[in-house]
Chains A and B, each alone.
Chain A
Amino acid sequence: MAMRKFLTIAALSLTILVPGTSAQQSTSPTPVLSALDYLEIEQLVYRYGYALDTGADNGFAYADLYAPDATFTGTNQGPSGRSYQGRDRLAALARGGKRGPNFVSHYVMNVVVEPAPGGAVGRTYVGILDIGNGGNGAKSRVDHGGLYNDVYVKTAQGWRFKSRSYFESTSGAPVQPPPATLSVPRALGVAPASTGAAPGSGPRLTAEDYIEIQQLVARYPYALDQNSDEGRSYANLFTPDAVFRQPRTEGRQNLATMASRAPHGPKYTRHFLANHVIEATADGAIGRQYLVAVDIGEMGQPSSIFLGGHYEDVYAKTAEGWRFKTRTFIASATGTGAK
């Protein structure tokens, strides 16, 4: 029994490719990542939540985020953790349970990426929320969460997970082997940006495009929660003919009015966005993010999740920069329910 447990732990130690440990050291050189490499790895990490929560393509959308020989390890599964390798086994992880095209649960944040021999390593936080079906905040709660330790590899199809290990957050002693420790940061030496994006012959975005769209979306919560100009800064995030749903609101004047009527204040924070996926299209770009709207308790009062779901966006590049052309909020729901 003791030998079996030892072998299990030893095997797990080899499969958890903790950044910075000997397990992932190789003779491969450490690449200098470009800005697009960082952005594309972020995109991979953000796609993870959608693939797992929706179970799209019978779980294979999730499996295809991994390289062919890649491994997912849940260190919280059983006393010694459990690993899954191979496309079919990984796809099976994204089936069953609470899923559906509009279901949201895995909110990924704090994505740290570092070049490493053969590719890159990373770590992220994940908050796994139980959003009440239909987005009714009354039943929503923090289910659990923790950290991922990742190893990424650049394949012919783009960046993929070589390994991903989940560590449940705990204030106590860590599992063995523990998650990677963070080192002192250094200047990244980011390689010059190229004009290409993901492999393929379709439309492409530059690093500047990704960053501008990220910044557009990052500004959204401030313009809504902390606006001090009758909603004008909110409306200016949209094209003049833009449409927000729901309720359907069209044009900057109506958008400004909608924002001015929403709860707001200079220190108010309510709209937390995560998992921002961006894709190039022939006309511009489209994107998605998870939203959790939180009513933060004040003066010792408890906080609560008001609702959760996701946005679906169409972006247009204008003379003023990237803007929302359409933005649609879809509340979280399990099953195959319509939007």
Chain B
Amino acid sequence: MNAKRFLVWLLAASLFVGALVYVAARVIEPAALANPPRASGSLSLPDVLFFALATLAVAGAAAVALARNILHSALGLLLALLGAGGLYVYLSADFVAVAQLLIYVGGVLILVLFAIMLTSRITEVTISNTSFGLAGGVALFIAVAPVLLAVGLVAPWTTHAPGPLVPSTAAIGNGLLTRWLLPFEVASLVLLATLVGAVVIARKEIKAD
């Protein structure tokens, strides 16, 4: 696997995604008339960044799906997570974005990589061929994606103007301890169970050894 190929692939993916978005925009143009369109002209910087982040995320997702090497998939996952995190910022979810980075990228991804290391032979990097072949995956993609896209684009969502981008940490904190106290506690319990469970599962194997 070479970087060149990767870059080509990335470019293709971004083009693809851009095409999709453009088409989608075109489709919902009548719907978009409800929102007063911005002055025509070039895209502002936030928009460009958005598209970059979006492309990153989607490309990474594509890499996860299509890469033959599992490590490449992991890398793609990293990109996808990063891109998603960046997008969260756009949605005024700064705490969530940071939490994503910390937990997902810093935790889950590391864990995945550990797992890959522990379970595959590093020397054999061709293990991750798709099982149903590309055909199954493409079929699935074609079956699902248009549906979701159509739903997302065609449905007349009643939106309101978004408010200013404000930090959400204090609000989330408050909420977690007042309104969503129970889910908070339950989540902590879940984490405890997960902790214990993972240890138990992993520990058993070691014992079996």
Binding between chains A and B = no
Which positions in B face A, CB cutoff 8 Å? none
